Amino acid sequence: MRDRIANAAFLAVMGLARILPYERRIPAMGWFFAHFLGPLAGWRKRIRNNLALARPDLSPHEARRLTRTVPANAGRSLAEIYSGTEFTDRIHAADPLCGPGLPALEQAAQAGRPVILAVAHFGNYDAMRAALSGRGWPVGALYRPMNNEAFNRHYIPAMRAIAEPMFPRGRAGLASMLRFLKGGGWMALGFDQFDGHGAELTFFGLPTKTVLTPAELAIRYDALILPVAGIRRPDGLSFDVRVGEPVAHGEPAAMMQALNDDLEQLIRTHMEQWFWVHRRWKRRR
């Protein structure tokens, strides 16, 4: 019953937002997340706690600002996902791919080489998927279905409408993903959340468990591996999809540390665009 109520509330809010034109809808959802959903979900406390660990040098004013702007970016991103072709058509028309790793990505496309796209909960993850699929490149994604089954019934189709294929976590989904990658597909894999089975690396100078799977798959399938991020521009509506330098194959832990370092520099430049709500630095008893 709680799931149904939460899903009905979300659909009501999104239904009202869809009445607005795109240029007003996206900031409106950002405002709603910043001032209502963020405080209600306890996000502000989590953001403050993470900032106290990773950026104790920030002023109280800047930390307070981020407790609003981080949820606002999440709200904008969700509204963009549910805007369908209004969102993807904008990305395709702009072709916002840029960055030092773009030539390597283009060469991989020509050669039919598998690619591991190391992605984070930064900016808008789906801007990257839309930009790559807009060029006709075979970008897949691994996803975890939400616990709320009622929400899944519309959320997963909205994600699929941006780019396919998508593979659910689990044995069958993993097997399909590996076949896709082995056949020259491109996989977007996240690496910025705490992984209890990962290697202890550093992020913002702090120890944290980091998943090694993206590096291990790149080595196993001789895949190009590089970071990609959809960076929201100051207008709040458009993006630069930055393709970072490829990571040389070597020890998986060293490869993932290089990706952690690249992401850290990106976050320091755009502090409000990373999802500071995640418990990235968990403490063990």
Kindly state whether residue 28 falls inside one of the protein's structural domains: yes
Residue 283 has a pLDDT of: 67
pLDDT of 249 over the 90 cut: yes
Render pLDDT for 134-160 as a digit per residue (tens, 0 to 9): 999 989 988 877 777 888 888 888 888
The token pair that represents 124 in the structure block = 């808008």
Q: How confident is the prediction for the chain on average, in pLDDT?
A: 93
Strand partners of residue 139: 186
Kindly state whether residue 133 falls inside one of the protein's structural domains: yes
Domain count, the chain: 1
Q: Looking at 9-23, 84-98, 214-228, 266-280, which range is the least confident one?
A: 9-23
Percent of the chain surpassing pLDDT 90 = 78
Kindly state whether residue 129 falls inside one of the protein's structural domains: yes
Kindly state whether residue 181 falls inside one of the protein's structural domains: yes
Render pLDDT for 25-38 as a digit per residue (tens, 0 to 9): 999 999 999 999 99
Kindly state whether residue 169 falls inside one of the protein's structural domains: yes
Owning domain of residue 262: 2-273
Average pLDDT over residues 113-117: 97
Contacts of 75 (CB under 8 A, 6+ apart): 29, 30, 31, 32, 33, 34, 37
Kindly state whether residue 268 falls inside one of the protein's structural domains: yes
Kindly state whether residue 70 falls inside one of the protein's structural domains: yes
Render pLDDT for 123-133 as a digit per residue (tens, 0 to 9): 999 999 999 99
Average pLDDT over residues 22-26: 96
pLDDT of 285 over the 50 cut: no
Higher-confidence residue of 7 and 186: namely 186
State the alpha helices, DSSP H only, in the chain.
2-19, 22-32, 38-41, 43-54, 60-81, 85-94, 102-111, 125-134, 149-162, 171-182, 213-220, 252-269
pLDDT of 72 over the 70 cut: yes
Kindly state whether residue 279 falls inside one of the protein's structural domains: no
